Structure 1
Amino acid sequence: MFDKFRLKDVLVDYKKNFVTTEWGNEKYKWEAVKCFQDNWDVNADDFADMLSRSLAKTLNLLASTNNFPRGMIEGFAKTAPEEVRAMFINLYDESKDVYDRIKAFKDQSSIMLEKYGNGAAQHYQYENAITIYLWLRYPDKYYIYKYGEIKTVADELGSDYRFKKGAYADNIRSFIKFYDEICDELKLDTELVNLLKSQLTDTCYPDPDLKTLTIDVGFYISRYYSQKGKETSAQEGEWFPSEYEPGLSVDDWVRLLSDKNVFTEGSLEIMRRMKDYGGQATCTQLSVKYGETKNFYNSGSVALARRVVEKAGCPVMERDNENSRWWTVLYVGKVAGKDEEGSYVWKLRDELSDALDKVDLSQIQLYAVSEEGEDEHHYWWLNANPKIWSFSGIAVGDVQSYTLYNENGNKRRIFQNFLDAKVGDMVIGYESNPVKQIVAIAKISAEQDGKKLDFEKVEGLTSPIDYQTLKAYPELEKMEYFVNPQGSLFKLTKGEYDFIMDIIRDENPISTEKAIDAYTKDDFLDEVYMSEGRYNSLVAVLRNKKNIILQGAPGVGKTFAAKRLAYSMMGEKDESRIEFVQFHQNYSYEDFMMGYKPVENGFELKYGIFYRFCQKAANQPDKDYFFIIDEINRGNMSKIFGELLMLIEKDYRGVKATLAYNGLPFSVPANLYIIGMMNTADRSLAMIDYALRRRFSFFNMEPAFDSDGFIQYQNSLNNETFNELIEKVKELNKEIASDKSLGKGFCIGHSYFCGHDTCSDEWLRSVVDFDILPMLSEYWFDDTAKLQRWENILHGVFQ
C-alpha cells in the first residue's frame, strides 16, 4: 500500500512537464522495447548478432560511465553463444519463480566471467540489468529494478513496502507488487493515458498496460520530484556579489542622478519603475508591468552603468562576461526561482535606492507610451460575481451592462476605471469566488453614460484559467487586482494583458486558417454504402432531433459512417469541429463534464471533454459541431450525463441550467449535434437507459451487400472467391436474421470486406477465421452442430 494522494500530487507535476520535457528525454525507453520486440528471436542462427540488434536502442539503460552490462553480455554471446542463449531461455521461463531466474542468470554470469572474462573484474549482470532484460521481453509484466530509485519512490509515496540492502529476493518481489499498485492507479488517470497516446509514434512500443509509463513515473519521482523544494542556496541564496562595491555614497548618486549625460530619460524611466515595483524585479516583470521590451531594461542598465563608471571613475567587478560585469554597479542580484529559469532578480543598491528617494521623479514616464499613430487602447480585468451574474451565462456576441453605482447608490470601487474605459478596450472576464477562474474574453462595446458601462462577450474559454495558476507567475504579482482585489473593474497594462493572453492561448489555442477539403453528399454516398434516400432520412432525423444513435451489428460501418455524416453536414472535412470519445463502465460525469481533481495544494475543478467542446461550439454559433460517442450504451448514462439529460434535448438547447459542481449556468448550444454508436450484437449490455432513449433518435444500419456502392466495389475486385464468400455470408445473414434468439441486429456487416484494392485468399481466410467464426461461436455457443456446419461452408469457399 502507499499514499495515493501523494501519487496524484506527483502526477500533477509529471503531466505538466510530460510533453515539454519528459517525453523528449525518455522516449527512448518505449523505442528500446519496440526495437527488442522487433528483433528478438531466441532461436536465431547468429545469436550474438540478434542479441546486439535487440539491445541496440537501450542506450544508457545498459551502458554508462562505470557500468557496462550490455557490452559484457554481448561479448559473452560472441564467445559462447549457446551458453548465453541457454541463460536467456531460462530467464524467460515464466513457469519458474522470478527471483530464482534472476539469481540463476547472475550466477551463470559469474561462471562466464571466470571462463571468458579475459581478466575483467566485473560482469555487471546484476538485478538492474537482468530486470531490464525481463522488461524488454515481457513489457506487459515487468519493470526495471534499481535499489536507490525504488527506495526513494517508496519513501516519497509513503509506501508500506520496505527495501533493505542485500535483501535481493524480498526487494524484487515487493518491488513488483509495489509498482503493480502504482500502475493500477496510472490506468485511472485518463488525462495521463491520453497524453502518452498522443506522443507515441510507430517507433515506440504502444505500452497498453502502462508498465513502461510506470517505470518512467518512478524515475521522475526519484530524479526530480524528490528534489522539489530542495534547491541549493546558490539558486535561492543571498544577494551577490558580496565581494564587490562600486564605492559610491548616497550623495555621489544624487549628483549623478542630476547629470543628464549620465542618467538619460530612458535611464530615469528604468529607475522609477524599479522603485515603483518595490526596488527589485526581473527584466520580464518590468516589461510586463510597464511596457517596453526586456532588452530595454537589460541593455539600458548596462549602458547606464558604463556611463556611471566613466563619470565617477569607480571600480568595475572582474567577470568573464562583458555585460555581466556592469550591472553590479547598479544592483545586487540573485538567480530567479525555477519559474523564471535563466533570469535574474535585480535589487537596487541601497545607496542608489536612498538617492532616488531624494530626487523628484514625478515627471518621468512610469508606463511606456504608445508609438505615434498607434491606437491607444486600455485593458481591463472585470470581476463577475456568480451569485449576481456570470460570464458563463451570456452567449458570445451578447452585451452585458455593468452599473457604475451599486444597489445602495454608492460609486463602484476604483470609479475612475469605469470613466477611463473606452469602446474597443479588451476585457479579461473573471468569475470570483467560488469559481475563481478566467472564463471569457470581452470588449467594451459602449462607454459609460453616467449610469452603466456595456461590454460584449467575444469568446468563452474551453479551458478556463485558475486564479492559482495566474498567482504563481511573478510577472503578474503587481497586477492591480492582485495588489488590492477589492472592486470590480481593474486596470491591466498592455504587458499584463499580453502575458495573460499567452497563458490563455496555451490552453485555448486558436485554430489556424488552413485549406480544408470540401465534402458533399455525393462524397458520402461514394464512401458509405447507403442509398440516397436513406442518407436524406438520416440527415433529416439528426437535424430535427439534434441527437442520434447509429445502431447495428458488428461491421456495418457505424463509426466510419458517423464521421462522414458529420463531414457531409458541415460541407467540409474540418476535424477541429468534431470530437470523438468512447464510453466504458468507468467513464464518469467528472470525465465528461467537470469534477474536482487533486492538485498540489488540495483539489481543483477541472473541466471535461464535453464541457470544453460545448464552449468551443458556442464560440462559433454559425457553424455546426459534432460530438461522436462510440459504444454509447457501455457507459452508465445517468452517471455520465447528469443534468445534461435535459439540456441535450432539442427544445432545451440554449436553455441554461445551474451546474451542481460550480453553481454556474450552462447550456448545450443549438449548433452541436451528438452522434452515438451502439452495437446491437453485444449480449453483455443492458438495454439503454430509457431517459436517454427518449432524447435520441435511433437509426438502424444494416449490412449493405446489395447496395449499389458495394456491388460496384465487388465488381472492381473481380475475384471469384470473394464473390462466392459474399454469397455465403448473405445466406448466413438470412439464417441469423431468422434465428429467434438472434435477429437482424446480429447479422455480419459488409465492412469486414471493404478497404482493399486487391483481393487475396489469405485476407479473406483471415476475415473468416478471426472475425466471422469467433462471432458465430458466441452466437451459437449452445448449438455446436450449426456452428460446425457454417465453419465447413465458409472454409469450403477456399477449397
Structure 2
Amino acid sequence: MNQEILKKMKSRPEVAVNSIRRVVSQYKESFEAWFPEEMYKWRAVQCFQEHWNPERVDFAEMLKESLAQAGNLMDTNYAYPCKMIAFFAEKEPNTVRFMFQRLLDPQADVVEQIQSFEKSADGLLAKYQFKESMKQHYQGDRTICTYLFFAQPDRYFLYQYGKLKAFLAETGLRATCKMGDIQNVLTYQEVANQVLSCVRQDSELLNLFETKRAELGNSYYPDSEHHLLTDDIIYFASRLYKSGYWPASAEYDPEISAEQWLELLADRSVCTAENLEILKTMQELGGEATCKQLSLRSGGSSAHYNGSMIQLARRVQGKTGCPLVQSKNEDQKWWPILFVGRTALPDQPGTYSWKLRDELAETLELLSQKEVNNPMPFAKNTILYGPPGTGKTYQTVNYAVAIIEGRALEEVQTENHEEVLQRYRKYRQDGRIEFTTFHQSFGYEDFIEGIRPVFAEDNEEENGDICYEITDGVFKKFCATAQPPAVDPNQNPYGFSASPTIWKVSLGGTGQHPLRDYCMANSCIRIGWDEYGENITDDMDYHVGGKTVLNAFLYRMQPGDIILSCYTAHSIDAIGVVTGEPEWHPEFDHYKRLRTVRWLIQGQNIDIEEFRLEKSLTLSTVYRLNTTVETVIEVLGKHGFSGAAPVKGTKGPYVFIIDEINRGNISKIFGELITLIEPSKRLGQSEELQAKLPYSHKAFGIPDNVYLLGTMNTADRSIALLDTALRRRFSFVEMMPDSGVLDDVKVEGISISGLLTTLNRRIEVLFDREHTLGHAFFTPLRQSPTIQTLGEIFRDKVVPLLQEYFYDDYEKICLVLGDRKRPEQQQFFKVETVDLQSLFGVEPEFEVNPTYRINPDAFFDAEVYRNL
C-alpha cells in the first residue's frame, strides 16, 4: 500500500517487534480494567453492520440507525459529524447514498475515495449552511475513515492522527506522520498491520479477548480478524505516551495542518499583528513560555497575553470549525487549539507553561525564513512630500500599519480605511506608533533631551530652591520603548524586570553604619521619615522634607528594579534587585520603612565611573540614576557575579511619525541624530554607532526596529531648500494630486476629476507643480455631492489657498478660476468700478490698480463650475 513507509518500519524489525510486544504485554496486564471502558466500540460496529443497507428507500433514516452508537467514536464536545451527515442525507438522500457507494467501492483507491467524499460533503455544506458554526461539524479524514471501518472492519482500522502520532512516539517505530497529510491513513494501515501480526501470535491475548467477547453476546461485533482489538491496543499505547503536556495527542487534536496555519496567520481578521508578534516571541523563547515570561519579555500584564491568545483561538475555531477539547473550564476549551501545556518548572517564572503545537511552530519557522528572504520593503527613514491636500498625513496611517504588520502597502490601502485606522489607534495606544508635529519653536530639548527647572520640593528635600532636571524628549522616550529588554527572562539570574529603573540608595549615610550592616545581613533596604507615620497621604505636610524620596521609595520603585548602595560620593559597595513591596516595621526604633532586596554583590568598592556616572552621588536618600542595565550587568561581571549576557533582539517594528517635518529647524532638532538615523548606524548593525548626549552624558543609539516617517508640504517650503544632510538620509516618496480617485464623483453632472485636472494645469503654467491642489480637498463630495458642498470647498479652501499662492495677484487667480471666460455675474472675483474723481477730488495721472471683490453668489452656481 505504501512501500516507502513499510521499508522504513522494517529497517530495524527487532526494535519494532519488541516495542509492540511490550505494549501488548502491558495491554494484557490492564485488560480487565481497560476493556469494559472500551467495549462500546464493538457495539458501535455491530450496530452499523446490522442496519447498513444503502438500497433502503428511507436512506436518511437508515443512516441514522446505522450510526446510532457511533457518537463516542466520531463526535466531540463541539463537533458532531454524525448529525451533519444525517442532515445532508435528509436534504439530498441520493447524493449522500452515492457518496457512500463510491467511498465503499473495494476496487477504488482509498485516498481518492476519502478525498472525493470530503469534497462532496464540503459542497453540501456550502449549499445548506445557514449558520457559521456548522463548519465545525465537517467530514474530515478521521470521520470518513470511521465510515470505512464500520462498513469493512476486516479490511480497515480506526484511523486518528493523534492516536498514530502518540503510538509512534511511545513505541519508537519510525514512520512519516505529518498533520494534514492524507498519506497518514496509509501509514496507519501499515502500522496497524504490524501490530496485528503480533496480536495473532499471542495466544494468551486472544484467549483473554475471546473469553470476554463470548460474555458480551450478539450485540457486539465478533471481530474474528481482530482488527478492532488491534486498534484498541494502539489506542491503549497512545494513552501510555506521556509527553508531560496536556492535552495528549490521543485525547485531543485540532487537526489544523501547517498549510492551514500559514493561511490563518496571514489572515488579519483571524490573527492580528499583535497575536502574531506574541507567537513570534514564544518562538524566540524556544517555542514555549508562560504568560509571565511574555510579560517580562515584552511588557504588559500576564492576563493580557492569556486573553489575547484565547481570542485568537476563538477566531481560529470560528474560521476552521476545528474540534474543541472537552472541558468544563471555558478557557481550557480554547488555548489547546494553539498550544499544549504543563505546570511551569521550578525555575520558570509564572505558573503554567504553553508550548506551541508542532504544526504552528513549523509555520512560524517558515514565516521567519520568509522574512529573512523577503526583508521589509520599507526604508527606515521615509518622507512623503507633495502639495497640500494630497493625503500625506492620511497615508501615514496606511504606511505605519503596513510596516508594523509586515505587509505590502498596496494590500493595506485596499482595506476599509476605518478598520485600518482602528488598528493604527490600537498600535498608538500600545506605544508602537508615536506622532508629533514639527514647528518653528520645536527644538532638540523637545525631541531628544533637555533640562527643565523644577522646585526642589518636587525633586529633593525641603529648601524650596530652583534646580534643574534632565528630561527625555519624545523621540528618546520612543526609542527606549522600542528597544528589547536588557535581559532575556529565560536567562535572567539577576531577577531584573524587563525594563528596570536603577536607584541610588543611601543606608544611614556614607561609610560604615549599623543600618548598612543590618540591610546587608537581612537582604533589605530601609529609610526613615518615621515622623509621618505608616500612611502617606496627598495632603501631607512635609514639615521636615522627604516628599520626593518617599514618593520614589513607596510608589515609583518596583520589584525587579536595581539598587546601587552608596558608600561614598564616588563609590558603590553593593548591587541588588528589589524583591518586595514597601513595608512598615513599628518594632524598629528608626528607619521603619523597608523593602526586601536580593543582594547580588556586596562588600565592594566600585568607582562610580564604572557606571559611566560623571557626577558625584548626592546626599539624597533615594533617587534615580542615569545609567543603563547593560552597564550594571557589565559591572556585575567584572566584580564576580556570573550571569547571562544582555539580550540582543528586537520587539518588532515601531513607527515614529513626524508631520510637517520641513517646518522645523532640522539641524537643531536632530542634532547628532542626523548620523545615528542612518540604517547602517542603527543599533545591532555592522556600523553601529552611539553618540554621547550633551545633557545626560549618556550613550544613545537608534534601535534598528524604529522607522521614521515624515510628511512635507512642498507648497510651504521647496524640497530643494531642505537640509542636505536630511535629504541624503531619507527616502522621498512624492505624493501629487490624484484626480483619478475622484473619477466617480459628480455634482449635477459636473466631473470633479476633470475640474481638478483643469485647475492644476493652470496652476502649473502660472506657478509650478509644487503648488497644485490636492484631491483631498474634494473628498467631502463623496458623502455630500451637492453644489452647496462644492461651493463651500471653493469658498473656504480653494480660493484662500490661491490667494496665498499668488500673493493677492488677482489677475492670475482669475485665470486659474477661469473667470475671464464667463459672464461677470458668474465670476468669483468682480472688478469694482471706482469713481476716482469723487474719491480723490482729482483724476490721478497714474494707473490705479483695479479693486477686486469676491462674488459670493458665484460659489453656489452650478453653471460657474460647468464653464470653469
Q: Report TM bin, short chain.
A: under 0.3
Under a length normalisation based on structure 1, what TM-score does the superposition of the two structures give?
A: 0.28
Greater relative contact order structure (CA < 8 Å, 6+ sep): 2
**Higher-Rg member (1/2):** 2
Under a length normalisation based on structure 2, what TM-score does the superposition of the two structures give?
A: 0.25
